[in-house]
Amino acid sequence: MKPISKVLIVDDDPAHRKIIGWSLQQVMPDTDICMAATGAESLRAISGNFDFCLMDYNLGDFKAPELIPEILARRPECPIIVLSASDRQDVVIQSIRSGSVDFINKCEAVVPAKLRQCIERVLHVAVTKQLDRRKVERRIEELEHSAATDPLTGLSNRRAVESVTLKSNGVAFDRRGRTTAILLDLDHFKQVNDRYGHRAGDTVLRNVGNMLRELSSASDVVSRWGGRRIPHFARRLPLGIRSQLGRVGKKYHQRDAGRY
């Protein structure tokens, strides 16, 4: 079991808080145990960095199914174990449905070995959920990047540019309205495809994309609008870009045309 540094016990009965705290100290002697007598107190206390929370089902001002969503809204990463003297099935079901990770009868919670088993089970579940959540978040990031990227050039695609301009009411990046928009249309691109083949044309597009990335600042958006059209939105033109863009055709003729 991973080291536990801080635990919150929520119970409106002082005797129960004391005995649950004693049981917890037997299995985790170095743990900082905090106590709350009401749901309101627990909501104020939960801002602390707790490893998990032991919560009585019936509190004076809340029942656990009402309080758990409030706590998870503040600390979604804090696993909650519900305690109750009742073994009624509806109590267990309501506790789990409201967001608790596990349920333990108070008669078992006062037995250190039983409490330890429950805590180990809960922490394992919590770690697994955290890892799964991170995997989902990474996958969402990958999908969002893929949806906004042109697969051939690696530049932003038309969807990404439209999203940026719509979010900024048509004035991208610069609140003063000084954004520069450049639309590159590669002349004679069809002749490259016809003469050297589509693989050569793809190479030209990739190389143009790479060059524009090198010329652009981090705040710019360079995209492939479709086909041979490449819009470039810039807060300000980087030094020398005008003259370099004017020589794109000559540059690629010298560097690439001889290869095909």
Q: How many domains does the chain divide into? A: 2
Clarify whether residues 113 and 20 are in a common domain: yes
CB-facing half-sphere around the CA of 96: CA atoms within 13 A: 10
Owner of token pair 């990404």: 160
Residue 1 lies in a domain: no
**Which of 112, 142, 172 is the endpoint of a domain?**
142
Residue 151 lies in a domain: no
2 in Cβ contact with 36 (< 8 Å): no
Residue 235 lies in a domain: yes
Question: What is the pLDDT tens value at each position of the chain, 260 positions in all?
Answer: 556 788 999 999 999 999 999 999 998 888 899 999 999 999 999 888 888 999 999 998 999 999 999 999 999 888 999 999 888 888 889 888 998 888 999 999 999 999 999 988 888 887 787 777 788 778 878 877 787 888 888 888 877 777 766 555 544 455 555 566 667 777 777 888 888 888 888 888 888 888 777 777 776 777 777 765 555 555 444 545 555 555 544 544 444 444 43
Clarify whether residues 59 and 89 are in a common domain: yes
Q: What is the CATH number of the domain that holds 92?
A: 3.40.50.2300
Clarify whether residues 222 and 120 are in a common domain: no
Residues 155, 157, 161, CA angle at the centre, nearest 5°?
Answer: 105
- The pLDDT value given to residue 181: 67
Two structure tokens written together for 126: 């919590």
Owner of token pair 């990047």: 145
- The pLDDT value given to residue 42: 94
Clarify whether residues 112 and 58 are in a common domain: yes
Task: Supply the range of the domain harboring residue 60.
Answer: 6-142
CA–CA separation, 89 vs 13, rounded Å?
A: 23
- The pLDDT value given to residue 152: 82
Clarify whether residues 204 and 125 are in a common domain: no
Residues 174, 178, 181, CA angle at the centre, nearest 5°?
Answer: 95
The pLDDT tens digits for 220-239 are 777 777 765 555 555 444 54
Q: What is the CATH number of the domain that holds 252?
A: 3.30.70.270
Clarify whether residues 99 and 166 are in a common domain: no
Chain centre to alpha carbon of residue 39: 29
CA–CA separation, 46 vs 39, rounded Å?
A: 10
CA–CA separation, 13 vs 17, rounded Å?
A: 6
Clarify whether residues 126 and 236 are in a common domain: no
- The pLDDT value given to residue 257: 46
Residue type, position 66, single letter: E
Identify the H or E element spanning 104.
Answer: strand 102-105
Clarify whether residues 195 and 122 are in a common domain: no
Chain centre to alpha carbon of residue 206: 31
The pLDDT tens digits for 4-59 are 788 999 999 999 999 999 999 998 888 899 999 999 999 999 888 888 999 999 99
Clarify whether residues 124 and 174 are in a common domain: no
